[in-house]
């Protein structure tokens, strides 16, 4: 277990895989000692861990009896948890479940050849009418969460590239000899810079001398 501190919060990082009853016990204890503790997304693609973010100032005391009540006893349904957070829960599949479920997954992809990476099915519980999604992923690094992370990274890279291209064009204009009325030219450049900023591309380095 490792701890990362920031200005106002602390991240408690617990290495995985870890049995679910142990992780639940730790979660109960962390939530009791630091009310408001949150599970956060693990951004480290190379490390399997569960991260609890706490506010040290919220710390409360827990006596022995209370701590004993937080213990989750092991049972036959425990699984090995790899990740747990806002993006969901990932576990190591128990051998018996894998043996029974793998043929179902393979048949689903055979019946839907147009699905390259994953299939998603909607399930409705007839008793309480709750809606669930069942997702089968075939390719490595192609879970919905991983695809979203990759898309967000591409968006960030694209915004940076567009910002550099806009900036290069605008600063090239700044270096050209001015013609006509300087104040009109200056106003035009300011408008161009403002347009870039309004599109969501931050810029720096240009000043008209006013704060």
Phi, psi of 23 (to 5 degrees): -65, -40
Which residues have a Cβ under 8 Å from the Cβ of 3 and sit 6 or more positions away? Answer: 10, 11, 12, 13
Extents of the domains making up the chain: 2-92, 95-139, 145-198
In the chain, how many H helices and how many E strands? 5, 9
Q: Where on the phi/psi map is residue 131: left (φ > 0), alpha (ψ -120 to 50), or beta?
A: beta
Q: What is residue 33's predicted lDDT score, i.e. its pLDDT?
A: 95
Mapping DSSP to helix (H, G, I), strand (E, B) and coil, where does residue 56 land? Answer: helix
Q: What is residue 150's predicted lDDT score, i.e. its pLDDT?
A: 77
Give 114-165 pLDDT, tens digit per residue: 887 788 889 899 899 899 888 887 766 566 666 777 788 888 877 777 777 7
Q: Round to whole Å and give the CA distance between 203 and 195.
A: 11
Please say whether the beta carbons of 2 and 46 come within 8 A: no
pTM above 0.75, yes or no: no
């Amino acid at each position: 277990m490792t701890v990362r501190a920031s200005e106002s919060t602390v991240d408690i990082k617990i290495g995985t895989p870890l049995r679910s009853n142990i992780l639940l016990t730790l979660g109960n204890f962390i939530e009791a000692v630091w009310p408001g503790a949150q599970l956060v997304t693990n951004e480290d693609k190379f490390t399997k861990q569960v991260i609890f973010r706490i506010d040290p100032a919220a710390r409360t005391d827990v006596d022995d009896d209370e701590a004993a009540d937080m213990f989750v006893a092991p049972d036959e349904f425990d699984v090995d948890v790899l990740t747990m957070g806002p993006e969901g829960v990932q576990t190591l599949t128990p051998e018996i479940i894998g043996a029974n479920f793998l043929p179902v997954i393979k048949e689903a992809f055979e019946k839907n050849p147009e699905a390259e990476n994953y299939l998603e099915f909607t399930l409705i519980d007839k008793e309480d009418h709750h809606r669930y999604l069942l997702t089968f992923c075939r390719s490595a690094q192609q879970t919905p969460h991983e695809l979203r992370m990759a898309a967000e990274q591409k968006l960030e890279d694209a915004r940076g590239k567009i910002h550099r291209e806009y900036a290069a064009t605008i600063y090239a204009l700044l270096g050209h000899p001015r013609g006509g009325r300087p104040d009109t030219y200056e106003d035009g450049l300011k408008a161009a810079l403002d347009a870039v900023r309004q599109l969501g591309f931050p810029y720096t380095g240009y000043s008209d001398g006013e704060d």
